[in-house]
């Protein structure tokens, strides 16, 4: 068990089983040491909009769930999370009502988890957008890019 997996265990964090793609695409692609992760939603498969069915705080938890899902796929892809050199870029698509303004607070659930697990290597560039509609009416979908050791 790698150092990151031991850290997860010490924090009482159990990763879900890595999800499979929902259609004809790859879960991830590695090019020149960068792992591009396909968009992931929360493991609970909640449905609905922030500002309507869900609060910002609930959205934060959904984004954290997405982070756990991403970590599970990373571990499945790399064999160990210790091969993650850095979280590079995070892009969130938050399913919201038109007047919702706290997208950044929702995506913090994902970002905070990356900092918690990878510390300085968890520091990343990011952007977040409100969406009028996302796949399966999920409350949030996150795309992410990681620098990884070649496998």
What's the pTM value of the predicted model, to 2 decimals? 0.95
**Range of the structural domain that residue 15 is part of:** 3-148
Report the share of the chain in percent with pLDDT over 90: 92
Q: How confident is the model at residue 148 (pLDDT cuts 50, 70, 90)?
A: very high
Distance CA 101, CA 80 (A): 37
Contact at 8 Å (CB) between 145 and 35? Answer: yes
Closest CA to 39 of 117, 147, 150, 145: 145
Residue 76 belongs to a domain with what CATH number?
Answer: 3.30.1330.40
- The token pair that represents 86 in the structure block: 């850095």
Count up the domains in the chain and report the number. 1
Inform me whether the pLDDT recorded for 151 exceeds 80.
no
**In this predicted model, what pLDDT tens digit does every residue of 41-68 receive, in sequence order?**
998 879 999 999 999 999 999 999 999 9
């Amino acid at each position: 068990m790698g150092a990151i997996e031991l850290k997860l265990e010490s924090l009482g964090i159990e990763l879900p089983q890595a999800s499979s793609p929902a259609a004809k695409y790859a879960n991830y692609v590695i090019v020149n040491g960068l792992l591009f992760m396909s968009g992931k939603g929360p493991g609970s498969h909640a449905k609905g909009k922030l500002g309507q069915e869900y609060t910002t705080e609930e959205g934060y938890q959904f984004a954290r769930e997405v982070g756990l899902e991403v970590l599970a796929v990373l571990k499945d892809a790399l064999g160990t999370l210790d091969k993650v050199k850095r979280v590079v870029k995070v892009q969130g698509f938050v399913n919201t009502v038109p007047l919702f303004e706290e997208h950044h607070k929702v995506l913090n659930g994902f970002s905070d988890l990356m900092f918690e697990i990878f510390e300085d290597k968890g520091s990343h560039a990011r952007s977040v957008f409100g969406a009028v509609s996302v796949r399966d009416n999920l409350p949030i979908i996150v795309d992410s890019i990681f620098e990884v050791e070649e496998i």
